[in-house]
Amino acid sequence: MSGAAVPDGVPRCSWAAGGDEVYRRYHDEEWGRPVTGDAALFERLALEGFQAGLSWATILRKRDRFREVFHGFDLERVAAMGPDDVERLLGDPGIVRHRGKITSAIGNARRALEIVEEFGSLAGYLWPFAPPPAGPPAGFVAVTPESTALSRDLKRRGWTFVGPTTMYAAMQAVGMVNDHEAGCSVRPAVEAQRLPVLARYGTPAP
């Protein structure tokens, strides 16, 4: 695949080359750039869970409200949310009102705190699942051995809404893989930012 240019002349991945400014801004500024903070990583994981069955543009447009109602995705504050919070959020049109996904986010925050206790940070757990650096993607991929392994381990730890496809989308979003297309103007900068993070967290998990 090669990057596609929009009217501003900047080559981008084909999914971001249309007229949607929300997608373009997300592509240029966030997608694939490495994320290591606990709250930021948990946000990406939670939002990928909320996205299941919906367009990513829907989630991006609701993200500010998600951040408000989930306390900036602070792990301890989300983990402390209870049944009353669930009922309140089910009445909030600014987010995705799905009981299973809301309760999943709260439960996953509790499990994330256990991971932080064990590994020191979410990054310390997640990033070793990243594959070694590779060339540009050869085509569309929805699931990889690494995303399957991550999904399996998270489920073993009690996480929900973390299937292999969802986890691969999260890995793309947080920079664990660089799936910017070969001609995309953002790809080289993303890879340069990823390499020291990959080196910091060591050998990929088996």
Distances (CA, A) of 47 to 36, 54, 55, 103, 133: 16, 11, 11, 13, 25
Which position among 23, 26, 125, 159 bears the catalytic label? Answer: 26
Catalytic residue among 15, 30, 56, 76: 56
Q: Which residues lie below 8 Å from residue 189, measured CB to CB, with a gap of 6+? A: none
- Cα distance between residue 159 and residue 154, in whole Å: 5
Would you call 114 a catalytic residue per the annotation?
Answer: no
* Residue 143, helix vs strand vs coil: coil
Q: Is 56 a catalytic residue?
A: yes
Question: Looking at 31, 43, 48, 146, which residue is catalytic?
Answer: 48
31 is catalytic: no
Element (H, E) at 155: helix 145-156
Q: Which amino acid is at 176?
A: M
DSSP assignment of 70-114: TGGG-HHHHHT--HHHHHHHHT-TTS---HHHHHHHHHHHHHHHH
Q: What residues are annotated to the active site?
A: 26, 48, 56
